[in-house]
Amino acid sequence: MKRIICFLIITLTAINAFAQTPEAPSQNISTDSTVVYRLFATKNNYMFIKLNTRNGQMWQVQWSMETKSRFETTLSDIALVNKEEEKNGRFFLYPTINIYTFILLDQINGRTWQVQWGKEEDRLVLPIY
């Protein structure tokens, strides 16, 4: 009887150890408000969004071990504030439950934009009124 109980405990412990789901990568976001650029992780392991925190410009960045699969492409090259209004740390990205959608926040005046990354035809930055 002791053998069966021991066997069950070991088996259940092993099953529990292997059945755990891996944690999502943490958002390693700099807390330094003096930085101009920040990388924001997406739920895609290979994709990041690079944000110019001064003016709201953004790029989609994909890393890979294969040269042909590494790239950086523009999401929005339009500055969302005038040059004289730029300030480090002004803009910040917040993920949503949709893997492809973030909310961009102007932390000074509260304006928001919907940011969509993905294939070229799916990319967009739209103001939220």
3-state secondary structure 56-107: CCEEEEECCCCHHHCEEEEEECCCCCCHHHCCCCCEEEEECCCCCEEEEEEC
> Torsion over CA of 112, 80, 76 and 58, rounded to 10 degrees?
-80
Q: How far apart are CA 115 and CA 127, in angstroms?
A: 9
The CA radius of gyration of the chain, in Å to the nearest whole number, is: 21
- 27-54, pLDDT tens digit by residue? 556 667 889 999 999 999 999 999 999 9
- 70-109, pLDDT tens digit by residue? 999 999 999 999 999 999 999 999 999 999 999 999 999 9
SS3 state of residue 120: helix
